[in-house]
Amino acid sequence: MIKKYLNQTCIVKTPSTFNDYGEPTYTEVTTKCRFESGSGYAKDLDGRDVISDGTLFTASKLPGEGRVEHDDINYIIVTSRSVPKLNGTISHYETKLGKSGGR
């Protein structure tokens, strides 16, 4: 049902390898999404409270250590959760994003 509302695209960057300096290199995939800006608090992958800068809605799960580019702005994935339908199956995923450079 949410797929008809995913009328935007973003680039999901998944860490794949490390370069000679120990920095991750990323595999990029364009994904349909819906982005809503807005600040708020969310718990990151380590359980700390951090400020999120927006919420991304997708039909597929995003990588926990990945990054997202939307409208030429780079974000880190703060946290992601599945949203169930009434019958218990997964409807979609809501991912809280933070501005890049915070991790």
What's the predicted TM-score (pTM) here? 0.85
Expressed as residue numbers, the domain containing 19 is 2-99
Q: How far is CA 91 from CA 5, 30, 35, 41, 49, in A?
A: 12, 20, 17, 23, 26
Domain count, the chain: 1
The average pLDDT across 29-45 equals 90
CATH, residue 30: 2.40.10.270
Please, what sign has the CA dihedral across residues 43, 46, 48, 51?
negative
Question: What token pair was written down for 36?
Answer: 């809503």
- Position 103 scores a pLDDT of 41
* Least confident interval from 1-5, 33-37, 42-46, 82-86: 42-46
Kindly tell me if the per-residue pLDDT of 73 is higher than 90. yes
